[in-house]
Amino acid sequence: MSDKNPTQISMRDLLEAGAHFGHQTRFWNPKMNQYIFGARNRIHIINLEHTVKQFNEALTFANQQAANRNKILFVGTKRAASGVIREQAQRAGMPYIDHRWLGGTLTNWKTIRQSITRLKELEKQAEDGTFAKLTKREALERTRDMEKLERALGGIKDMGGLPDALFVIDVDHEAIAIKEAKNLGIPVIGIVDTNSNPDNVDYVIAANDDAIRAVSLYATAMADAIIAGKEYAKTQGKASEQEVGAEAAAE
């Protein structure tokens, strides 16, 4: 690991979180065979030697993206993932989608951006007293519109444009997001369970995608790596400013 990324996941971290427990053997995807250690009580066991290496490579990539001031979109809309995805993305200062992926979020960004503009307009109206001047029915309708848009787009309203990478929990559940990213050449970091398809995932992390403790471990580590990358970028920026100042003083 580089100096700018002290974040690293260990085999013990993964074991304690239950990351090695896959799905029932009858639900497996043969494309995940290379990542499976064996089976126990008809449950596939994931080979964590692969997972540790894959995860740390993904963390290094995320850290470098953050150090370059790039945006990583966190995606996790199922119940086991949504809360922690929102929490850790916010902590890392990254965009997120935790409710439902709207088709075209990436491939039809222009339309999504218009909806974000509408959301921000409604938020402004709610704050500046415009809602209070409306009839109860009109105010209620606008409030409902605002809440609906906030659920769908609140996590990406400040993204400002397409993300530079995606971090996805459960790649089968978020298949549309991954397909859109692939079409646009946006790299994907994905938690891929034994029942899932690893195709179109650039950084495959073979691991349990259902256990809340495991999902929390993944999202927290990803946020830590991003925060470390951002801090590195800040120190580099300060160092550059000092160099410029020293050169100016010398002249």
pLDDT at 243 over 70: no
Specify whether 188 is located in the same domain as 224: yes
Examine the fold and report which residue of 143, 159, 175 is the final residue of a domain before the chain moves on: 159
Specify whether 134 is located in the same domain as 75: no
Torsion sign over Cα 209, 168, 55, 35: positive
249 inside domain: no
What is the pLDDT at residue 239?
59
89 inside domain: yes
- CA gap 214, 209 in Å, rounded: 7
Specify whether 182 is located in the same domain as 100: yes
What is the pLDDT at residue 177?
98
Specify whether 196 is located in the same domain as 137: no
220 inside domain: yes
Dump pLDDT digits (tens) for 106-118: 999 999 999 999 9
* Range of the structural domain that residue 149 is part of: 107-159
CATH number of the domain encompassing residue 133: 1.10.287.610
What is the pLDDT at residue 250?
56
245 inside domain: no
What is the pLDDT at residue 238?
66
Specify whether 147 is located in the same domain as 227: no
Segment 217-241 shows an average pLDDT of 88
Specify whether 51 is located in the same domain as 144: no
Specify whether 17 is located in the same domain as 27: yes
Maximum CA pair distance of the chain?
A: 74
Domains in the chain, number: 2
Specify whether 231 is located in the same domain as 148: no
DSSP 36-103: EEEEETTEEEE-HHHHHHHHHHHHHHHHHHHHTT--EEEE--SHHHHHHHHHHHHHHT--EE-S-PPT
pLDDT at 1 over 50: no
- CA gap 151, 145 in Å, rounded: 10
CATH number of the domain encompassing residue 181: 3.40.50.10490
pLDDT at 26 over 70: yes
Dump pLDDT digits (tens) for 42-78: 999 999 999 999 999 999 999 999 999 999 999 999 9
Segment 75-83 shows an average pLDDT of 95
pLDDT at 247 over 90: no
What is the pLDDT at residue 5?
62
Specify whether 147 is located in the same domain as 211: no
Taking the CB of residue 172, how many other CB atoms lie within 10 A of it?
14
What is the pLDDT at residue 128?
95
Specify whether 87 is located in the same domain as 41: yes
What is the pLDDT at residue 3?
52
Q: What is the mean pLDDT of the chain?
A: 92
Q: What is the dihedral of CA 61, 103, 216, 17, to 10 degrees?
A: -90
Examine the fold and report which residue of 141, 159, 177 is the final residue of a domain before the chain moves on: 159
Specify whether 184 is located in the same domain as 87: yes
Whole-model pTM: value is 0.90
CA distances from 154 to 62, 98, 158 (A): 22, 9, 8
Lowest mean pLDDT of 4-18, 40-54, 185-199, 218-232, name the range. Answer: 4-18
- CA gap 117, 34 in Å, rounded: 45
Q: What does the block give as tokens for 243?
A: 């160099």
What is the pLDDT at residue 2?
44
116 inside domain: yes
